[in-house]
Structure 1
Amino acid sequence: MPQSVIVLGGGIIGLSCAFEAARRGMRVTLIEPAALGGQASGAAAGMLAPYSENTEQPDSFFQLCLHSLRHFPEWIAAVEELSGLSAEWVRSGSINVFMHEADLLPIQSRLRWQNEWGADAQLIDAAQLRMLEPRLAQSAVAGIFTPHESHVYAPKLVTALEAACLKLGVTILLQAGEVDEVAVHPSGGVTVRAKALEQPVHADRVVVSAGAWSGAYERWFGLSIPVHPIRGQICSFEHPGGEVRHMVFSSQAYWVGKRNNRLVCGASEDVAGFQTHVTERGIGRLIRSSNKLFPFLEGKETAHRWAGLRPATRDGQPLLGKVEGMPAVIMAAGHYRNGILLSPVTAFIVADLLEGKPSELPLQSFDPNRFTPIPYRRRFV
C-alpha cells in the first residue's frame, strides 16, 4: 500500500507539497483551517526573482531560490498540464532602478557574483532604461536589467495547483478550523484532530506547512518553531497592457504588471500580529513610491488594496526537514516572502524526505531543529 501523508496548510507551499507527493504515488490528505491560498499566497505578486531579492552574497538561501527558479519551467508545465489551467507565467525580466549616482558604487560587485551564478545581468544607463521602460521618471539615473526573472499570477497558481491535486486524488479538507491535536505515535503514524472535522485523520507521515500559524504546532513536537506573522500590504492600479513591461524594483517598492490589466505594487510590511486589514500609512507609502517612480500614476486611485500574513522566522531562513526524534514529522514552513518562488524546490525536498532519498541541496541552514528545543512538551502519545 502506498505511503499516506497529511499536509497541514493549504497555502502555496502546502499545495505544492501535496501535489508532488501525490505525483510520486502517495496517498495525500491536505487539511486547511480556512480557504486555500488565503494569506501569504494571497499577498504575493508572484515574483520569481532570486537575483533582485538577494543582492548581498550567494549564500545557501540564494542557492535554494536559484535552484527553484531553474526548475520552474517543468514545474509550471506539469501543474498546467494536469490542471488544464494557466498560472499566467510571464517571462518579463526585471529592472532594478537607481535614483542617485551614489547608489551605483556597490553595483559592480553585485553584478560580478550574480553573473557568475547565471544572472546575465547588465548595468544600463538612463537612456537604455527608458528604452526598456518609457514610463519611468526622468530622475532615474540607471538600472540593472536581469533577463531571466519572471512572475506568475499567484491566485491562478493556487487554483491550478488545487485542480492538479484533485486530479491526482488528493483529499482536500477545507474550513477545518483550528487543529486540536497532532498525535505522533511511537509505533508509527500520525493522527490529526480538528474542530470542524467529523472524524480524526490518520496517516503514516505529516508535513507541517501552516505558514504564519506553524508555531502553533510546537506543543505537539517538543520543538521551538519561531515563525511569526509579518503583515504584507499591497495595492494595484488599473494598468493597460504594456505600460510597465518588466518587473521593476526600487529601494522602496516593486511593481508587476499582470495580464488582468492591473499593476501590482508592494509591499509595505509591518508587525501587527494576525491582523490582515490594510492601513492608510502602509498603502500611502506604496502610493508615494509609485508617484515618484511612475509619474503617470500621480492622482490615480488604487483599484484594490489587500494584505496577507507572511511567515517569518527568527533568522530569516525557512524550516525544511525532519523533526529530530520524530521521523514521521516534516517541517516546510517560514518561507516569508519567497513562498511562490520556493514552491517547486520545497515540494521536491519534502517528497524526497518522504521517500527517504538524500536531498540534492545542503539543508543544514534550514534545519527545523536549529532552535532551542522545548523538552517539557510531550513528543509522543
Structure 2
Amino acid sequence: MATADITVRGAGIFGLSIAWVLACRGAQVQVVDPNGLAAGASGGIVGALAPHVPENWNPKKQFQLESLLMAETFWAEVQQAGGISPGYARTGRCQPIADEPALTLALQRVETAKNLWGKNATWTVRPIQNPEWAANSPTGMEIHDTLSARIHPRHACHALAAALASQGVDILTDAPETDITVHATGVVGLDQLNAGRTRMVGAGIKGQAALLDFAAPDAPQLFADTLHIIPHADGTTAIGSTTEREYDDATSTDRQLDDIVARARAAIPALKNAKVIAKWAGLRPRSRSRAPMLGPWPGRPGHFIANGGFKIGFGMAPKVAHTMADLILDGHDTIPQGFEVQASL
C-alpha cells in the first residue's frame, strides 16, 4: 500500500464507509482500529434501514432520506468491488395500525409522504396482505412503505473491508499518524470527548438483539410493539432491540432479550416456533444532540469527527461518507444544521 495521507480511526460503519469513499476519490487511506473490524456496535445483527415518519420535516430527516435513496447504488458498488454481499435490499416495511385514531393519522401521512418523498417511495395504508407475516392489527390494516431497506450489519462491514482491500486499504491495529485523521471511534470516542467536560457529549446506549432460524429473505421488514423484525438475505431473521441506559455488563444478554423474542413470537405467527441461533449485545454511540456528530474537531487542526450513529448509523452511512469526503478533500461543507460537532459539545 502507498504511504497514507489520511487515517481513519474506527473500523465500524462510519469509519469504513468514509474510508471507502475517500479511497474511491483517490485519497491514500489507512484504517486503524486496535480492536479489529466491526468490534463495536457495527458488529450487530439487526440492520433496519427505516425512514423517519414523513411529517414535521427537519434537516436530520432530509439527510436520512437522501442517504436511504443513495444506499442501493452505494452498496452495489461495494459488493462489486469486494465480492461480498452486505445483505442489502429495499424490501419495504409493514406496521400494524392499532385503532381508529392511528388509522386517521396513517392516512394523513399518505399525503405528507407524497410531498416529502416525491416519487422516490410510497407510504400506503392497506388491509393486511399476509396474515402469517404480519403483526397483530386490531383494525385489520397496516402501513406499508417502500423506502425502508434491510442490511446485515456484520456482513456489510465485511463487504466494506473487502472493497477497501480491493483498493489496497487494509484494516490495521496500529499505524503512524498522518496529517489528516478522521475519528469514527464510536463509544470510545464519545468517552474521550466527555473527559473534562461539565456535560455529556454523548454516551453508549446498550442494545440486545437475537437472530432466529427463520427464512423469509424477500419479505418486508416488520415494525410492531416497538420491535424491528428483519428477514435477512442469508435465511435468518433478526429481532431487536432493547434500549438500556443502565446495565452491569455491556456485552451480555439477559431476560430483556428473552422478553423481546417472546413479544416478537407473540406478535408474528410465523415466528412462533423459530429457534434462536445467535444473540448480540453491545453499546451504540448516541450524541447529546441525538444526531450524528460530523465535522472538524474544534481546536485540533487536521482532525475530524464522525460519530453518534446510534440506531441509524447504517442508514446514514452513505450520505455521511460523501459529506465527510466533500469536507476533507474539497473543503466543501454540507453538514446539516444540528449535525455539527459543536451541537453536542
Does the alignment reach a TM-score above 0.5? yes
User: Any idea what the Cα deviations from partners look like across 1:1-55, whole Å, max 9, x if unmatched?
Assistant: 997111111101111111111111112121112121122112242222114xx45
SS at 1:327 equivalent:
coil
User: Any idea what the Cα deviations from partners look like across 1:113-167, whole Å, max 9, x if unmatched?
Assistant: 2221223111112xxx1x2453335644221111232112222211111011122
Specify whether residues 139 and 338 from structure 1 end up closer, same or farther in structure 2 by C-alpha distance, changes over 3 A only.
Answer: closer
Q: Which amino acid aligns with 2:89?
A: V
Which of 184, 195, 206 lines up with 2:181 in the alignment? Answer: 206
Deviation at 1:75, TM superposition (A): 0.9
Distance in 1 separating the partners of 2:104 and 2:207: 30
Structure 2 residue ranges without an equivalent (≥5): none
Deviation at 1:312, TM superposition (A): 0.6
Rg larger in structure: 1
Count of aligned pairs = 339
Specify whether residues 67 and 217 from structure 1 end up closer, same or farther in structure 2 by C-alpha distance, changes over 3 A only.
Answer: same
Specify whether residues 138 and 226 from structure 1 end up closer, same or farther in structure 2 by C-alpha distance, changes over 3 A only.
Answer: closer
Deviation at 1:288, TM superposition (A): 2.8
Equivalent pair of 2:96/2:137 in contact (CA under 8 Å): no
Specify whether residues 247 and 227 from structure 1 end up closer, same or farther in structure 2 by C-alpha distance, changes over 3 A only.
Answer: same
Distance in 2 separating the partners of 1:220 and 1:300: 45
Distance in 2 separating the partners of 1:219 and 1:153: 31
Specify whether residues 274 and 351 from structure 1 end up closer, same or farther in structure 2 by C-alpha distance, changes over 3 A only.
Answer: farther
Q: Which residue of 2 is the match for residue 92 of structure 1?
A: 91
Q: Which amino acid aligns with 1:269?
A: T
User: Any idea what the Cα deviations from partners look like across 1:316-354, whole Å, max 9, x if unmatched?
Assistant: 111011123433111100011111111111111111111
Structure 1 residue ranges without an equivalent (≥5): 175-196, 373-381
Which of 127, 136, 156 lines up with 2:134 in the alignment? Answer: 136
Deviation at 1:71, TM superposition (A): 1.1
SS at 1:19 equivalent:
helix
Specify whether residues 223 and 290 from structure 1 end up closer, same or farther in structure 2 by C-alpha distance, changes over 3 A only.
Answer: same
Deviation at 1:102, TM superposition (A): 3.7
Equivalent pair of 1:213/1:228 in contact (CA under 8 Å): no
Distance in 2 separating the partners of 1:326 and 1:211: 18
Distance in 2 separating the partners of 1:146 and 1:315: 27
SS at 1:206 equivalent:
strand
SS at 2:283 equivalent:
strand
Distance in 1 separating the partners of 2:229 and 2:275: 16
Distance in 1 separating the partners of 2:73 and 2:273: 42
Q: Which residue of 2 is the match for residue 47 of structure 1?
A: 48
| Range that drifts further, 286-295 or 328-337 | 286-295
Q: Which residue of 2 is the match for residue 15 of structure 1?
A: 16
| Range that drifts further, 340-349 or 217-226 | 217-226
Distance in 1 separating the partners of 2:274 and 2:214: 11
Equivalent pair of 1:237/1:264 in contact (CA under 8 Å): yes
Specify whether residues 45 and 371 from structure 1 end up closer, same or farther in structure 2 by C-alpha distance, changes over 3 A only.
Answer: closer
Correspondences of 1:281-300 after superposition (within 5 Å): 282-298=256-272, 300=274
Correspondences of 1:113-132 after superposition (within 5 Å): 113-118=112-117, 119-125=121-127, 129=128, 131-132=129-130
User: Any idea what the Cα deviations from partners look like across 1:272-297, whole Å, max 9, x if unmatched?
Assistant: 377111111x1132123213321343
Equivalent pair of 1:208/1:330 in contact (CA under 8 Å): yes
Which of 362, 365, 370 lines up with 2:343 in the alignment? Answer: 370
Distance in 1 separating the partners of 2:304 and 2:135: 48
Distance in 2 separating the partners of 1:212 and 1:82: 30
| Range that drifts further, 141-150 or 214-223 | 214-223
Q: Which amino acid aligns with 1:121?
A: W
SS at 1:30 equivalent:
strand
Q: Which amino acid aligns with 1:95?
A: C
1:37 aligns with 2:35: no
Correspondences of 1:218-367 after superposition (within 5 Å): 218=193, 226-241=201-216, 245-271=219-245, 272=247, 275-280=250-255, 282-298=256-272, 300-359=274-333, 361-367=334-340
SS at 2:187 equivalent:
helix
Distance in 2 separating the partners of 1:84 and 1:57: 40
SS at 2:237 equivalent:
strand
Distance in 2 separating the partners of 1:133 and 1:274: 38
SS at 1:270 equivalent:
coil
Q: Which residue of 2 is the match for residue 108 of structure 1?
A: 107
Q: Which amino acid aligns with 2:96?
A: V
SS at 1:50 equivalent:
coil
Q: Identity percentage over the alignment? A: 24
SS at 2:43 equivalent:
coil
Equivalent pair of 1:133/1:246 in contact (CA under 8 Å): no
SS at 2:338 equivalent:
helix
Distance in 2 separating the partners of 1:223 and 1:206: 26
Specify whether residues 57 and 292 from structure 1 end up closer, same or farther in structure 2 by C-alpha distance, changes over 3 A only.
Answer: farther
Correspondences of 1:173-192 after superposition (within 5 Å): 173-174=172-173
Specify whether residues 49 and 37 from structure 1 end up closer, same or farther in structure 2 by C-alpha distance, changes over 3 A only.
Answer: same
Equivalent pair of 1:229/1:273 in contact (CA under 8 Å): no
Distance in 1 separating the partners of 2:3 and 2:26: 7
Where is the strand percentage greater, Structure 1 or Structure 2? Answer: 1
Specify whether residues 143 and 224 from structure 1 end up closer, same or farther in structure 2 by C-alpha distance, changes over 3 A only.
Answer: same
SS at 1:26 equivalent:
coil
Distance in 2 separating the partners of 1:341 and 1:304: 23
